[in-house]
Amino acid sequence: MEIAPRIAAIQDLSGFGRCSMTVVLPVLSAMGSQCCPLLTASLSAHTAFPASDKAVFLDLTSWMERTAAHWAELGVRFDAIYSGFLGSADQIGIIERFYQQFRGEQTWVLVDPVMGDHGKPYRTYTPDLCAKMRELAERADCITPNWTEAALLLEEDYACVPTCREGIQDWLERLSLQGKRSVVLTGVSLEPGQVGAGYFDRTTGTTGFAMAHQEPAHFPGTGDLFASVVLGAMMRGDALPGAVEQAVGFVQRCVAHTLKAGTPAVEGVQFEPMLKDLMG
C-alpha cells in the first residue's frame, strides 16, 4: 500500500492574499504528500497589501513549541521539514530544536530563506532575523532563495547580482557551501523573454537551469508556490532537475492564467484551477 510522505510545514497562515500556508497545503496535498502545519503566525492578510500596518498579526511562537511537544509525545516522524516566512528571530531557535527532535537520517530539510524581494528585506525582517535565517539555512539539505535572499545569504550587494551564466553558476556554488546543500535560485534570466531557476544539485555536484516564457507581471506568493512544487516532486521521488522543471512550468502557467483572468496582482496567482495538473 502506498503511504503518503509526511511533511512538517513551518509557515504563517495569511487569511487573504495567496501565500505561505494557503499555497503550501493545497499544493502538497495535490502532489500526494501529507502536510502537517506548524503555524508561526496568523495574519489577516500578507504584508504586501497597501497599509500593511493595519493587518492583524497573531504571533504563535509559544504555540509552535507546544505543538512540537505534543507531536513528540505522539511519536510523529517526518519525511521532510519545510520552513518559509518566519515571524521572529526566536522562532529560528525553535526550528533548530525541532530538527533535533524530528530530523531523522532520511528527513529532507528544505529551508526557503524568505527574507525579501526586489532587493529589499520584507518590513518585518530585521538584520538579526536575517542573520539567524542564514544560520538556519546552513543546516538545510536544500534552499530556494530568490536573488534578494541569495545576496543576503552571501552578504553581497544586490546591485552586484550576476547576469551571465558563469557568474550565476559561481553564486550557485557559493550558496551550496562547498557542495553541502542543494540550491534552487529563482528569478534567473539568461536571455530576454525567459525566466526560471538555476540550481546546484548536491547529489550529482552539477549546476543547471530550467527556463520558461517570462510573463510581464510579478505576483506575491509565487516563491511559496515554487518551493512547494519542488518539494512535492522530490517527495514523489523525482530528482532535483525534474522537480525544478515542474515548478518553473507550473508557476509560469499559473501566472499566465492569472494575467488572463485579470485579478489584482496583490491577491496572488489563481493556482486553484491548475492544481489538477499536479496530481500524479
Residues that bind ligand PXL (CB under 6 A): 12, 14, 19-20, 43, 46-48, 85, 114, 122, 220-221, 223-224
Cβ-proximal residues to 197 (8 Å cutoff; 6+ apart), any chain: 184, 185, 186, 187, 188, 209, 210, 226, 244, 247, 248
* Of 182 and 186, CB closest to ligand PXL: 186
Choose between 12 and 201: whose C-beta lies nearer to ligand PXL.
12
Q: Is the Cβ of residue 5 or residue 145 nearer to ligand PXL in the bound state? A: 145
Q: What is the DSSP string of 209-274?
A: EEEEEPPS---TTHHHHHHHHHHHHHHTT--HHHHHHHHHHHHHHHHHHHHHHT--GGG----GGG
In angstroms, how far is CA 171 from the centroid of its own chain?
18
Q: Cα separation of 11 and 22, whole Å?
A: 9
Q: How far is the CB of 43 from ligand PXL (least distance, A)?
A: 5
CB of 94 to ligand PXL, least distance (A): 17
CB of 102 to ligand PXL, least distance (A): 22
In 3-state terms the chain splits into helix, strand, coil percentages (rounded to 5) of 40, 20, 35
Report in angstroms how near the CB of residue 8 gets to ligand PXL at its nearest. Answer: 17
Q: Which is nearer to ligand PXL, 146 or 176 (CB)?
A: 146
Whichever of 19 and 95 has its CB closer to ligand PXL, that residue is 19
Closest separation in Å from C-beta 179 to ligand PXL:
28
Any bridge partners for residue 206, and if so which?
201
